[in-house]
Amino acid sequence: MITTSVCEMTGIKYPLLQGGMAHISDAALAAAVSNAGGLGIISAASGNIAQIEAEIDKARTLTDKPFGVNVMLMGQNVDEIAALLAKKKVAAVTTGAGNPERYIPMWKEAGITVIPVVPSASLAKLCARGGADAIIAEGGESGGHVGDLTTMALVPQVCDAVDIPVIAAGGIADGRGVAAAFMLGAVGVQMGTRFLTAKECNISRAYKDKVLAAKDTSTIVTGKRLGHPVRSIKTAFSRAYAKAEYTQISNDDLENMAVGTLRAAVVDGDEKKGCFLAGQIAGMVNREQTAAEIIGEVFAEAENILNGAEKWVK
């Protein structure tokens, strides 16, 4: 049994959070993860206020376990979403793609556990000073919006920078990744890509097939020129976008090229227009399983590895 301060803090069995993936992490996936003993997370980046509220209400009908909501701080209506989450008193909030400092007091007052996702030790420090309960240190192996540092370099530096629990993310898809994250000082993990092929994950067939077919070198980072680097599976679209970044194309045209591409991947499975976000460990995700099977397998493997450490430590 692996249990840490993250379990205590959030009322979960396994110290595992499911990534709040835009357009993907809905009530069904979040509730499945929470029912399986992890912390399911609904993404608030996919709808208007009424839709987000409906998704939270739906999750509450699907599970009596705690779950959280992820706020993409670069997105639209962030002030309204932040206020909604305080009103709904969700168990936990994770944030991404920005500094959540100004919302933390409101969320804490509502009794919410606040866990920002950060790509650097400096932002981790600001968040801890601002009252965050824990930090998710996300390395650039992850899918979606990425920072510069790898999980291997980032996690121990964030652990040294703050005295609140650190959860590792980016490049973790099995028990080996969990064990490694713990060795770096983390007391929990967040996994996104592994849940893309969960049976309860409602994405297009084409998206799941792309993840299942991916190998280690199948992802690419685009969007650096506009300051929003994003990791996705290599497709005709992502290769064309990567090429366009090195041409004379205007920033506006480049920005327009990306509009609607997440939805096109998730909902329509459109191979030509879609941007199929996934992390570098997509190459290790080869099966469709339930969330409960995934979590059970990952923690059984991690426990085995950590117990076996005596093999080389005398």
Residues at the interface with ligand TUI (CB under 6 A): 22, 45, 72, 96-99, 117-119, 123, 138, 144-147, 228, 230, 277
Nearer CB in complex with ligand TUI: 79/109: 79
Q: How far is the CB of 158 from ligand TUI (least distance, A)?
A: 12
Q: How far is the CB of 121 from ligand TUI (least distance, A)?
A: 12
Nearer CB in complex with ligand TUI: 124/285: 124
Nearer CB in complex with ligand TUI: 22/33: 22
Nearer CB in complex with ligand TUI: 87/224: 224
Residue 25 token pair = 């992490």
Q: How far is the CB of 223 from ligand TUI (least distance, A)?
A: 7
**Contact predicate 223/140, CB 8 Å:** no
* 17, 112, 176 from 194: Cα distances, Å: 12, 26, 13
Nearer CB in complex with ligand TUI: 34/222: 222
* Euclidean distance between CA atoms 82 and 169, whole angstroms: 23
Q: How far is the CB of 67 from ligand TUI (least distance, A)?
A: 18
Indicate the residue whose CB is closest to ligand TUI. Answer: 144
Nearest to 222 by CA among 231, 213, 214: 231
Q: How far is the CB of 17 from ligand TUI (least distance, A)?
A: 12
